[in-house]
């Protein structure tokens, strides 16, 4: 399955039946990198590793929060990106994955 692509100014994100992935970062990441350790940022995760999801909306960034192997990670998006749609699809695919694995 090729997956569904969600467009983002910071780099498009693909949702597949078993993972979420941002193939390449785009745009200006300097502010994010100056305030957050690279170890807290995430660009891809397998569904078998994700145990919780959340969303934090800001005036400039929206953050998809993922708990991966017990650690909180963040995937950043511009506030204008449609992250709610991505989160809804992600939560649906996670449930399907968990029911089948």
Encode pLDDT of 43-76 as tens digits: 999 999 999 999 999 999 999 999 999 999 999 9
Give CATH for domain 4-100: 2.30.29
| Res. 101 pLDDT band, cuts 50 70 90 | confident
What is residue 68's predicted lDDT score, i.e. its pLDDT?
A: 96
pLDDT by residue (tens digit) across 14-51? Answer: 999 999 999 999 999 999 999 999 999 999 999 999 99
CB 63 within 8 A of CB 39: no
Tell me the pTM. Answer: 0.92
C-alpha to C-alpha distance for 61 and 32, rounded to whole angstroms: 9
| Res. 2 pLDDT band, cuts 50 70 90 | confident
| Res. 94 pLDDT band, cuts 50 70 90 | very high
Q: Which helix (H) or strand (E) holds 52?
A: strand 50-57
In sequence order, what are the residues at sequence separation of 6 or more whose Cβ sits closer than 8 angstroms to the Cβ of residue 2? Answer: 14, 16
Segment 24-29 long-range contacts (CB within 8 Å, at least 24 positions apart): 27/78, 29/76
C-alpha to C-alpha distance for 101 and 41, rounded to whole angstroms: 26
What is residue 73's predicted lDDT score, i.e. its pLDDT?
A: 97
């Amino acid at each position: 399955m090729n997956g569904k692509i969600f467009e983002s100014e910071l780099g498009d994100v693909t949702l597949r039946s078993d993972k979420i992935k941002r193939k390449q970062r785009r745009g200006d990441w300097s502010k994010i990198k100056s305030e957050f350790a690279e170890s807290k940022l995430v660009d891809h995760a397998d569904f078998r590793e994700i145990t919780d999801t959340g969303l934090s909306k800001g005036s400039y960034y929206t953050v998809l929060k993922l708990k991966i192997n017990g650690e909180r990670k963040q995937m950043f998006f511009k506030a204008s990106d449609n992250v709610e749609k991505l989160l809804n699809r992600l939560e649906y695919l996670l449930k399907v994955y968990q029911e089948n694995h």
